[in-house]
Every structure is written in structure tokens, then in C-alpha cells.
Structure 1
Amino acid sequence: MEFGNPLFNIAIFLAFVVVTLVVVIRVSKQNVTAGDFYHGGRAFSGRQNGIAIAGDYLSAASFLGIVGAVALYGYDGLLYSVGFLVAWLVALLLVAEPLRNTAKYTMADVLSFRMRQRPVRTAAATSTLAVTFFYLLAQMAGAGALVSLLIGIEGRVGQSIVIAVVGVVMIAYVLIGGMKGTTWVQIIKAVLLVTAVGVSTVWILALNGFNLSEVLGKAVAEHPDGATILEPMHQYGTSGASKLGFVSLAIALVFGAAGLPHVLMRFYTVPTAKEARRSVVWAIGLIGFFYLCTMVLGFAAAYMVGVDVIGTLPGGSNSAAPALAYALGGTVLMGIISAVAFATILAVVAGLTITASASFAHDIYNGVIKEGSATSAQEVRVARRTAVVIGGVSIIGGILAAEQNVAFLVSLAFAIAASANLPSILYSLYWKRFNTRGSLWSIYGGLGSALVLITFSPVVSGSETAMIPGADFAWFPLTNPAIISVPLGFFLGWLGSVTSSETNELKQAEMEVRSMTGAGAEKATQAH
């Protein structure tokens, strides 16, 4: 299947990169302090931050992965959409406002507030880097599939070169623009993505008399599995293990978002807790609209492109969305949709990279190595160097994971975030008894169990789509570890706390007042 003019597609890519780099360079002149680099000087409104959150959250997994999953598996592919959206209710009701009220830079600032600084900061930063790595894998894999499809590159070598180029551009965004530049890239990308997806959805519905049943009927007629794609558990109901795998996936998706470091960091870019709440409401509205559209796009791809054709494309199911755009509107629409998808990847990887680099520089370098004595200039310098290292590691990981469905890869990042981060965040905000040992056991226990189970699962070896083809050392039957690792993270947090006599009632009381009311938080912000 031929996909238009590669030169036209490349030109649209370059136009987006040039425009966003100009924006990043302009706002970079306002980066003076570490606070400017980490949270943009808290200068964004709730609406701006909400659009940026949507831009950060609607990743390659949301656009490329979910459309492909719906095209191949129908109803079960929508489970990713439902999980990703419902997860925001947890973030809105339990995390957003209290986290913003602590007036800090990173997740580790919150977790270590009433505990021993060095061990908790080290643990939180380690968890942040692990979650970021898995999320970056998904974005890089999506980038390789997308650009390879558009410019006619075939084979792993060509995709590897594409992934490396994406990594370099991402590093440039972070080094030049910091959080302000990254936020504006995410705002631009969110507007483009939601508009493009909305227009495509209306176009498809118009071709079918604005009758969703007509779209579903055509998908059923063309899909090899027929009407079963409209039924639950088509993908996950084949055995007891696959049913458990579905439960595990649901746990990861619903609880993961509230523990994602790059999403949590966005709550610090607004001036007040009220704006933090407002930003989440904006994000939920945009994200909800987007996921409704992916349902239509996925079923349309099933009959307009064809399941058999999707399976032969570079990147497999990840290429369903751009292939649908070509079938719908030819070269021009495919170039536009693909440029938007490319923008999606660049914006998300930039947000991930700045989160990970800020965590290392602020928590490990300043908080642990320098014991809080580093200057803002030193922190920012270390953060920029860390961004380069993270970019290099993500390029290598993305090459290894190039054939995996990106929505699936993101579900692994959600599982790690829900296992290692969420228990400690909720315990820190809401449980007076929580202490250093509980935090360490929860973070390392949740993180370690998730990583071990992923390593010895069919994701890495023992299956046709494994990261290491030909190897087979898998003993854990599920592809997502959340059903074990998330409860274990909560249990270890409780067990560690009740077996330790450490308490700090004064700090706990201050934390409670700040997180619930915001009192005292603004002074801390100004001190930074």
C-alpha cells in the first residue's frame, strides 16, 4: 500500500519542528531561575495548563495505539480509552489540589516533606526515572513506526535512524526551552491533535449519514472476526490467564495516571490550587472528547484500511491511524494527521524528559549529593546534562521496543507508576502514621515487583512480539503486573510504617494544613 509523497510528508514534519522551535527559543529567554526551568514560574492559567496536560497525556499511545487496538480488537481496544479517562477522576478527586498546595517542584518533594530526606528522595527519583523510561519506550516506538511509514523506510535499521532523530529533537526542546518551552509545545500540539481528530471523526460520520451504527456495521462486515469485535473479552476472554490479564490492565490504567511523574509535575505550573482543579477539569473535557473520537476512527480503520493490511504496515497496529487518514483524504490529510501524530510524540517525550531530568537534578544531585546546598544555576546545568543522557537511553530502548503496540507499552508505565508512586503519594497526603520505612518499602517494593514481573513476562521473551525474539525465560503468564504489584505496594507501605516507631507530628500537621488549605505553601514557593 503506497502512502502518498514522502517529500510532502517530510515537509510538514519540518514545518512543525521549525515553528515549535521558534516558540521554544522565544520563551527560553524568560528562563532565569530553577523554578522557571522546572515549572515555568507558575505562570500558566488553569485553562492553559489543562490544554497542556491534555497535550502531555494524549500520547502516541492514545492516538496511534488505541486506534490500532480498536481496529484489530474492537470493543476490547476501547478498554484502553476507558481506563485512561477514568484514571483522571482519581487524579482530580485525590491528588491534584493537595499536591499543588505543597508548592514543590517534584513528587519527591512531597514524599520527603515529613520524612528523612535523603533515602526518600533517592527512592522517589529512582521510581520517576523507571516510569519515565517505560513511557519513553512507547513514544519512541510510535515515532519509528509513524515516520518509517510516511517516508517509505523499511526494516529495523531505518526505523532506528528515525527514532534517533526524534530523540535529538526532543533533547533540543528541553535544553532550550525548559518547562515553559515544553508547555507551549504541548499546548500547540493538543490544539492540533484534538482538531485533527475531531475533523476526521465528523468526516467519517458524514460519509455514513452521521449514523454510528453504519460505521460499526461496515467494520463487522470487513473484519475477519465479524460481530465478535463488538463483544467484550474478544481479546482477553480466551483463557483464565487472559481474563486475569484484563483485570491487571484495568488496575494499571485506572490507578496509574495519578502516579505518573510527568503528569504530577504539571500541577506545579499553575499559581493556585483553584487553577490546578480548573486545569484538570479542562483536561478531562478534552481527553474525553478525544477518546470518543478514537472509537469512530478505530472502527473506520477496520473497514477502510483492513485488518490484513494494517498487519503488514511498518509498526503494525501503530500505523492504523495514518493509513486511515490516507484512505480518507489522500496524501494531504495523511501528511497533516501524521505531522500531528509526530507533534504528539515530540511534545510528550519533551515533557517526560524534563520531568526525569528535574527529578535527578533536584532530588538526587541537590537533595542527596549536595544536601540542599546547590545553586539554581548548578541544578539547571545538571538537569540539562541529565536530559541528554535520558535522551540517549530512550533512543536505545525505543529501538528495542519498535514492534510493540504503543498503548500496551504505556500500560506498563502506568503499572509501575501505580505500584511504586501512588501508594506513597496517597499515604503521605492522607495517613498520619506513614513514615520513612513505609515510604521506602512501598516505593522499592512496588517498583521492584513490577520490574521483575515485566522482565519475566511474555513482554520480554517467550512470545512472537517479545522484545527479545527467540529467547524464552518467561514464567509470569500475564503481560501486565499491576494485579500483583499494586496491592503489594500498598501493603508494603502499611507494613513498613506499622513496624517502625518513627513519627514527626509537627511536620505531619504542617503537611496536612498545607495540602488541604494551601496555607504556608505560597511562602515556600517564594523561598524557592
Structure 2
Amino acid sequence: MSAVLGSAVLAAESEQIGDPVLNIAIFGAFVVVTLVIVFRASKNNSTAADYYAAGRSFTGPQNGTAIAGDYLSAASFLGICGAIAINGYDGFLYSIGFLVAWLVALLLVAELLRNTGRFTMADVLSFRLRQRPVRMAAALATLAVVFFYLLAQMAGAGGLVALLLGIEGVAGQGLVIAVVGALMILYVLVGGMKGTTWVQIIKAILLIAGAGIMTIWVLAKFGFDLSALLQGAVDTAGEGGEALIEPGKQYGASGMSKLNFLSLALALVLGTAGLPHVLMRFYTVPTAKEARRSVVWAIWLIGVFYLFTLVLGYGAGALVGPEAIKAAPGGVNSAAPMLAFELGGVVLLGIISAVAFATILAVVAGLTITAAASFAHDIYASVIKHGEVNPDGEVKVARITVVVIGILAIVGGIFANGQNVAFLVALAFAVAASANLPTIIYSLFWKRFNTTGALWSMYGGLISCIVLIAFSPVVSGKVDPATGASLSMIRDTSVDFHWFPLDNPGIVSIPLGFLLGIVGTLVSKERPDREKFAEMEVRSLTGAGAEKATVH
């Protein structure tokens, strides 16, 4: 979802938007307030359940709001608004796709995972399978998803925040990435899941309130007439503006572009149901009833927000104009900030900048706590120590992991600065859909499924996904026909080793992950533990024993 942030990284050197002093003041106020909340929340972090799952102390509405905060990344606000302003109907397909993806995640796996697991996704996958190999595979897939997702957020954060603060040069943007990373480490290190959850709740409220205010403001300028707003966008776009309200402007040019969209949509819709940092949020509520309440709140908040993006996107197209947006320092990412400036000047722009910063900070904190839990709980405690480790030792390892992951994310974000962030995000979603989701589905619903099938599915999905993206046009060989500039991760247009034609491998690697799970199960002589499956089925459907879930 953060793919659209990439262009801001390169454009930040040209000029800045708004008043950097005002933006820094608003950023500083947000950091101070959230740090106070995180330190207060950290006083109750005494056990592993406190650190990983916030002591399962959040209510449904609180957790639902935090889920919305975890799910709505900066690209949901900045990127989708820009996509709608530039591509109209085809841009709004992103909003529809992300909302449908959330429904798939909630209705298919979320509550069942919450009832069966304890802290991480691997708890569920290893419940009735051989623990050590499955935990290792699940943890590696989780770390791969989280790292590349985190890398994309960090690289996007560097470009976006540097742009808004008027920081020029690679060194300055690297400093921004380091500051964002350091804050992320501090939040997670001190606050654990409880502190991270409160940051996400605050961020969700700010993001939805900010988008709501701007939506009402835009509608007021057009007499609260949506048809007038759409017509304004068409008129401002000039010749060919009618394409903004018709399908096919971005994905209807050729059969390959349609196939590209289908592959990307498949990865996003199904990948969300396998994103570990989203699924982990369901371990923070005390009961299945509260998990269901979380679902209701999350759906309403996310759905309303994506309706706001429709108005904001077409509003930016009407009041700012597609050409002005594309020519701005941040490219399509500038649509929402430029609309804010058009509506309320530097003050509203400063507030929207702070909301974008809050969004990035909350998402990277959620990703980091997930990666720390996966390594400490699944690899260190369960595989290396064979489950013989006290909770204090496990939390200590989790905190060390937070620092290591944070440093790696900072270094990786600095190196990825100026690279194609779309590659990193596509990889994260494709890995989640290819490696995690098939095993989750089979573990929950297929009685015959065994360890061999799980390993074939996870490793096969992971490897095929990475290989296909490495040899896709996203990495090399994609050139802008108008300018001749490289659109690939490798900027040298003379380098071209791609043989896979699609930008996203989802349409190949996801079915392959499901197929390998079936084949691995059927060719294996391993006999499934039917009693364990029956126990897992009862627990997943009723929640009985979920609060006392143990590692098997």
C-alpha cells in the first residue's frame, strides 16, 4: 500500500512544501504527547503477555480503532488520493481492493487465529503440526514480510518527511530515516504492544478526523453536490478529462496491463489475510466477543475512510489539477498535501503533514513489535530453547530484536532511498499471500494437512515469489516510453535481465503456494494428528482454552 511513496524520495531535493518550522513544531508536539502515553503504558509491562499482546486488556472498540490505525498506512491517505486525482475510477479501485481485502482477512481467518493462537501466527500453524520446522518456516516468512514492508515504510518516510520539512540531499533524507527509526525503536522498546496500540489508536483518530474535515471542506466548495465535484475534476483535467470517471484509464490500455492489475489485486486482497502485523492485533483482546466487536469497529472506520478518499482524490483533481500534482515535488503523493494547502493554507498543511508522520510512525511500530515477537517467541523460545525459557528472558530477547530490526530497517531504508519502493511493498504482500495464507487456511480447515505440506507451501511460496519478482520488470528492464527513463529498481536502462512479464507475481506464486501445500501433503507418508485437529477446530470456533493456550 506504500508503493506510491517512492517518487517522493527523489523529488524531495527540488523544493519543499509549506512551512518547515510549523511542520517541525507539530511533529514535535505529536512525538511528546505519544511518548508520554507510551511511558505510562509501559509501567504495566511485566509479562510476555503484556509485552506481546498488551495483557489482552483492550476492548473491542479500542482494538478495532488500533486495527484501523495499523491497516491505514500513509499510502492509504497520500497515495490513493493521488491515484484518484490522476487516474480517477482506476485509482479508486485501490480503495475498494484494500477494503475487500480486510473483509477477507476478518471473515476467513482473524477470529479463528485469535482463538487458536497465543502471541503469533506461528502458534496457530504449529498447533497440530511438528513444532520446530513449522515455527522456523513461519517465523522466516513473517520476518521476510515484515522486513520488506518495513523497508518500504522507512524509505517512503525518509522521502515524504524530508519533502515536507524542506530537507535536501541524500544525507539529510538519511538523517530523517534514522530519526524515524530511532523513534520507532523507542516506542516499541519501552511500550511493547500496549504502547504501540495506543500510538495506533491516536494515529487512527487523527487520520480519519483529518480526512473527514477535508472531505466536508471539499464538498462545501461544490455545494455538497458529488456530481458537481466530479464535473469539476473533469473540467480541470481538460482534454480527455472524461476518462477520470470511466474505467480503464490506467489498467485498460492492453491485455498485459489488465493481467498486471489482476495479479496485483490478487496479491493485495489475499496478502492482507496473511499479513502478520495485522493478524497479531487479535491477540490483544480478552474474549472472542471482543474480537468480533473489533471487527465491526475496524470495518466501519476503514470503510468510512476509503469513502473519504473518493472525495479527496477527485477534490484534488478539481481544485489543484492533475498536471500540477504530477509536477509537484512529491508527484502523486502531493495530492492530499496540495489540497490541504489549497483549502486551509500552511496551518492545515502542517496538520496534514503531522498526520502523515503519525501514520508512518504507527505502522512501523506495529511491524517492529510483530517481527520481535516472531523471532523471540517462535525462533528463540520455541526452536532454540525448546520451550524451556522463562517469560522475562523471552521479553529480553524480544527487546534486543527490536533494536537489531530497527537498525537494519534504518540502514536498509537509507540504501533503498531513491529506489522503487513499489518493489518492496509488492514483495511483502506477495510473500504474505504466497507463503502464509495457504498454510493458515489448510491448518484451520483441512483435516489431512500435515507438516510436509506446510513446509512445501511456505518455502515454495516464499522462494517462487522472490525469484519471480527478482526477474520481473520491477527490478530491471522497465522503461518509460515517453521519456526513456528507467522505471525499474535498477536505474541503468542498459541492464535488463527480466524474463517474467508481470510486475507482481501474485497470479503465479499464490496458486503455486496453495498447490504445493496439497502436493506436499498427499506425497508425504506422515499421518496427521486427527485428535489435535479436532481440538484445534473446537478452540478456533468457540475460543475455549484460548486464554490458556500453550505451546505444543
Residues 236, 409 of structure 1: alpha-carbon distance in 2 compared, 3 angstrom cutoff: farther
Partner AA of 1:423 in structure 2: P
CA contact (8 A) 1:38 1:354 kept: yes
Residues 337, 405 of structure 1: alpha-carbon distance in 2 compared, 3 angstrom cutoff: farther
Residues 143, 2 of structure 1: alpha-carbon distance in 2 compared, 3 angstrom cutoff: closer
1:450 alignment partner, one of 465, 478, 494:
465
**Number of equivalences:** 527
Partner of 2:316: 301
CA distance in 2, matches of 1:85, 1:406: 22
2:260 alignment partner, one of 239, 245, 248:
245
CA distance in 1, matches of 2:155, 2:328: 14
CA distance in 1, matches of 2:354, 2:450: 47
CA contact (8 A) 2:118 2:547 kept: no
Residues 314, 369 of structure 1: alpha-carbon distance in 2 compared, 3 angstrom cutoff: farther
List aligned pairs for 1:347-362, cutoff 5 A.
347-362=362-377
Partner of 2:185: 171
Kindly provide the CA deviation profile for residues 377-403 of structure 1, in whole angstroms up to 9, marking residues without a partner as x. 111111111112222222233334445
CA distance in 2, matches of 1:314, 1:128: 34
Is 2:171 aligned against 1:157?
yes
Partner AA of 2:540 in structure 1: S
CA contact (8 A) 1:315 1:402 kept: no
Residues 388, 319 of structure 1: alpha-carbon distance in 2 compared, 3 angstrom cutoff: farther
CA distance in 1, matches of 2:88, 2:542: 45
Aligned residue for 1:421, secondary structure, equals helix
List aligned pairs for 1:412-491, cutoff 5 A.
412-463=427-478, 464-470=486-492, 471-491=495-515
After TM superposition, give the deviation of residue 518 of structure 1 in Å: 1.6
More displaced, 274-283 or 148-157? 148-157
Kindly provide the CA deviation profile for residues 441-470 of structure 1, in whole angstroms up to 9, marking residues without a partner as x. 111111111111111222222232322211
CA distance in 1, matches of 2:278, 2:453: 24
Residues 66, 396 of structure 1: alpha-carbon distance in 2 compared, 3 angstrom cutoff: farther
Partner of 1:60: 74
CA contact (8 A) 1:70 1:295 kept: yes
After TM superposition, give the deviation of residue 298 of structure 1 in Å: 1.3
1:263 alignment partner, one of 278, 300, 313:
278
CA distance in 2, matches of 1:39, 1:458: 40
2:34 alignment partner, one of 20, 31, 45:
20
After TM superposition, give the deviation of residue 150 of structure 1 in Å: 1.6
CA distance in 1, matches of 2:412, 2:86: 26
Residues 204, 281 of structure 1: alpha-carbon distance in 2 compared, 3 angstrom cutoff: same
List aligned pairs for 1:62-461, cutoff 5 A.
62-223=76-237, 225-403=240-418, 410-461=425-476
Partner of 1:515: 540
After TM superposition, give the deviation of residue 409 of structure 1 in Å: 5.2
Kindly provide the CA deviation profile for residues 85-121 of structure 1, in whole angstroms up to 9, marking residues without a partner as x. 0012212221122111114110001001111111100
Partner AA of 1:441 in structure 2: W
CA contact (8 A) 2:101 2:273 kept: yes
Partner AA of 2:538 in structure 1: V
CA contact (8 A) 2:16 2:329 kept: no
CA distance in 1, matches of 2:437, 2:421: 23
After TM superposition, give the deviation of residue 480 of structure 1 in Å: 1.2
More displaced, 305-314 or 181-190? 305-314
After TM superposition, give the deviation of residue 404 of structure 1 in Å: 6.6
More displaced, 104-113 or 63-72? 63-72
CA distance in 1, matches of 2:78, 2:366: 19
CA contact (8 A) 1:31 1:37 kept: yes
Partner of 2:4: none
CA contact (8 A) 1:149 1:319 kept: no
CA distance in 1, matches of 2:164, 2:210: 17
CA distance in 2, matches of 1:305, 1:342: 23
TM-score between both structures, scaled by the size of structure 1:
0.96
Kindly provide the CA deviation profile for residues 125-176 of structure 1, in whole angstroms up to 9, marking residues without a partner as x. 1111111122213322331232122211234333222122111111111001
1:5 alignment partner, one of 3, 13, 19:
19
More displaced, 427-436 or 412-421? 412-421
After TM superposition, give the deviation of residue 229 of structure 1 in Å: 2.0
CA contact (8 A) 1:96 1:277 kept: no
Is 2:56 aligned against 1:42?
yes
CA contact (8 A) 1:55 1:187 kept: yes
CA distance in 1, matches of 2:222, 2:151: 37
CA distance in 1, matches of 2:67, 2:302: 9
CA contact (8 A) 2:16 2:165 kept: no
Partner AA of 1:456 in structure 2: F
CA distance in 1, matches of 2:283, 2:545: 15
CA distance in 2, matches of 1:74, 1:407: 20
More displaced, 463-472 or 332-341? 463-472
CA distance in 2, matches of 1:400, 1:242: 30
CA distance in 1, matches of 2:405, 2:490: 22
After TM superposition, give the deviation of residue 488 of structure 1 in Å: 0.6
CA distance in 1, matches of 2:362, 2:108: 26
Residues 112, 33 of structure 1: alpha-carbon distance in 2 compared, 3 angstrom cutoff: same
CA distance in 2, matches of 1:122, 1:36: 24
Partner AA of 2:316 in structure 1: A
- Give 5+ residue unaligned stretches, structure 2: 1-14, 479-485
Partner of 2:12: none
Partner AA of 2:490 in structure 1: I
CA contact (8 A) 1:192 1:340 kept: yes
CA contact (8 A) 1:65 1:407 kept: no
CA contact (8 A) 2:420 2:488 kept: no
More displaced, 254-263 or 316-325? 316-325
Percent identity over paired residues:
70
Aligned residue for 2:320, secondary structure, equals helix
Residues 458, 315 of structure 1: alpha-carbon distance in 2 compared, 3 angstrom cutoff: farther
CA distance in 2, matches of 1:2, 1:512: 55
1:30 alignment partner, one of 26, 41, 44:
44
Partner AA of 1:176 in structure 2: V
Kindly provide the CA deviation profile for residues 318-351 of structure 1, in whole angstroms up to 9, marking residues without a partner as x. 2322122112111100000110111011001000
More displaced, 399-408 or 446-455? 399-408
CA distance in 2, matches of 1:210, 1:137: 40
CA distance in 1, matches of 2:121, 2:237: 45
CA distance in 2, matches of 1:231, 1:138: 31
After TM superposition, give the deviation of residue 413 of structure 1 in Å: 2.2
1:494 alignment partner, one of 510, 515, 518:
518
